[in-house]
Every structure is written in structure tokens, then in C-alpha cells.
């Protein structure tokens, strides 16, 4: 939830949430995001990943965030799947299955818009 009178904060929160979902879809985890970022810096053929990681473009700056905000988010908390498993999943007291909280390409409802 965000205050209605603060659209910049609402945008930041919304895109951080999208970051968690896109990171999972891209196979980025808390453990591998640093290495994947380093590899993408030298591989210009990975344009979509480079945009997502803030290597190309100015998406983060358009939101008033650092260019690499997505990298910082994933390093700090992991991707959506990691968060779900850690706080809500079968190994937690809540013991929830992912169900509709899966990514869209796994039968769930989560999908992130393009990072452009």
C-alpha cells in the first residue's frame, strides 16, 4: 500500500514488485544475480537482460531509482519464488503451496510487464 498523494513512491513499489516476478522468470536468484550481472556486462547480445539489470537504458533513473535497482532488490531478498518459499511455502508454519502464485508460464497469475 502506498499513499495516494505520492505517485513516485507508488511507482517504485510497483516496479520493485514486478522486479521480483521478472527475476524469477529470468532465473535470477539471490545467489546468482551478481554473477549473471557481471556476465551480462560483457555480453551485448543479452539486450533484454541488460535492460532489466540496468546495464543499458535509463529505466531505473526514470523511476527515481538507481540504474541497478533490480540487482539491489534481488541481492537483498531474492526473487518472488524465493520470497514465497521462505515466508509462505510448505517449509513454513503457513505451509502454502504456490498454486496461482506461480508464474504465468507455470499456470499461475504472476507476470511482469516489460522493463523498458
Residue 113: band (very low, low, confident or very high) from pLDDT cuts 50, 70, 90? very high
What is the structure's pLDDT at 3? 80
Integer angstrom CA distances of residue 65 from 13, 24, 25, 31, 71: 11, 21, 22, 23, 12
Read off the pTM.
0.91
Question: Measured between alpha carbons, how far apart are the two ends of the chain, in Å?
Answer: 24
Residue 2: band (very low, low, confident or very high) from pLDDT cuts 50, 70, 90? confident
User: pLDDT for 42-65, tens place per residue?
Assistant: 999 999 999 999 999 999 999 999
Segment 74-85 mean pLDDT: 98
Q: Give the domain ranges of the chain.
A: 7-106
Q: Who contacts 92 (Cβ-Cβ below 8 Å, separation ≥6)?
A: 85, 86
Q: Is the pLDDT of residue 1 over 80?
A: no
Which helix (H) or strand (E) segment holds residue 23: the answer is helix 7-25
Q: Is the pLDDT of residue 104 over 90?
A: yes
Amino acid at each position: 500500500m502506498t499513499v495516494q498523494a505520492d505517485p513516485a513512491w507508488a511507482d517504485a513499489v510497483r516496479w520493485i514488485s514486478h522486479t521480483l516476478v521478472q527475476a524469477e522468470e529470468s532465473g535470477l536468484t539471490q545467489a546468482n544475480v551478481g554473477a549473471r550481472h557481471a556476465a551480462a556486462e560483457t555480453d551485448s547480445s543479452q539486450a533484454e537482460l541488460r535492460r532489466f539489470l540496468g546495464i543499458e537504458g535509463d529505466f531505473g533513473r526514470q523511476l527515481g531509482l538507481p540504474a541497478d535497482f533490480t540487482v539491489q532488490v534481488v541481492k537483498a531478498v531474492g526473487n518472488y519464488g524465493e520470497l514465497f518459499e521462505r515466508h509462505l511455502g510448505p517449509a513454513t508454519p503457513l505451509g502454502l503451496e504456490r498454486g496461482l502464485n506461480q508464474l504465468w508460464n507455470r499456470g499461475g497469475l504472476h507476470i511482469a510487464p516489460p522493463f523498458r
